[in-house]
């Protein structure tokens, strides 16, 4: 069984086609690296409990800040506060991951090559 090449590629000039594909892959990798660096520095915020707890993280998933309204601080009910913090941080992480995934899909055209990103 013979492998079929993508449209626009033929066996003649095979080295040229391979070099062209390699250049395209290298360009895509550079674009993805640049986008990844930009997204790692971007900040994502999320709130929980109607805004009484707010978490801000960087795209690199490092927590930058956690803001807590005084009204929600109850020494008798630390569990609820913990749950609100976890919910806010997890939502901020989800936002960061979703944007990174969408950005990388746009650059790669949905192509998922192991080791490329």
CATH class label, 15-108: alpha beta
Domain ranges for the chain: 15-108
Kindly tell me if the per-residue pLDDT of 115 is higher than 60.
no
Q: Is the pLDDT of residue 108 over 90?
A: no
Confidence (pTM):
0.72
What is the side-by-side strand order in the sheet with 53-58?
Answer: 43-48, 53-58, 63-68
Letter string b/e over residues 15-29, b meaning 16 or more CB atoms within 10 A of that residue's CB = eebeeeeeeeeeebb
Tens digit of each residue's pLDDT (9 = 90 or more) over 52-79: 999 999 999 999 999 999 998 999 999 9
DSSP-assigned states of every residue in 21-46: HHHHHHHHHHHHHHHHHHHHH-EEEE
């Amino acid at each position: 069984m013979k492998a079929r090449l993508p449209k626009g590629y033929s066996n003649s000039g095979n080295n040229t086609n391979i070099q062209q594909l390699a250049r395209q892959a290298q360009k895509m990798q550079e674009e993805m690296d640049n986008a990844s660096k930009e997204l790692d520095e971007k900040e994502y915020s999320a709130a929980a409990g109607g805004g009484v707890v707010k978490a801000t993280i960087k795209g690199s998933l490092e927590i930058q800040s956690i803001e807590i309204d005084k009204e929600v601080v109850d020494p008798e009910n630390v569990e609820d506060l913990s749950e609100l913090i976890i919910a806010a941080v997890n939502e901020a992480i989800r936002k960061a991951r979703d944007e990174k995934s969408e950005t990388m899909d746009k650059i790669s055209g949905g192509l998922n090559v192991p080791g490329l990103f």
